[in-house]
Amino acid sequence: MMTQLIHEVLNQRGATFRAYFSALNDQDFQAILNGPSKTLLDVLQLRYGFGPGDAKAAWNDFVMRHVDGRAGAIQHGHRSYPLPGACRRRYH
């Protein structure tokens, strides 16, 4: 994951992100906004008890539903980021 992509998404859809991941508090959100991309995964693991793969799948699920609007690859500029296998958990 790229830090720039995460920050762009959160700056554009912060309220939606916070509603989707409602267990996150203000400090968590600020840490994600101000930190490297790994901070997002670390915070999701801490607050939701996810392993690294589940945390990444939860982020990808959010992006598919609220940014990309469809299943498939995440599009960012001229790059395409493939999604992991189907996520079997609900994250909110």
For the chain, the domains span 3-81
- Burial class (CB within 10 angstroms; exposed 0-12, middle 13-18, buried 19+) of 31: middle
Q: d(Cα 64, Cα 73) in Å, to the nearest integer?
A: 8
3-81 under CATH 1.10.10.10, yes or no: no
Return the beta strands (E) in 1-92 as ranges: 74-76, 79-81
pLDDT of amino acid 49: 92
Residue 86's SS3 state is coil
pLDDT for residue 2: 79
The whole-model pTM stands at: 0.70
Mean pLDDT, 10 residues at a time, the chain of 92 residues: 83 90 95 93 94 90 80 47 41 46
Specify the pLDDT at position 84. 39
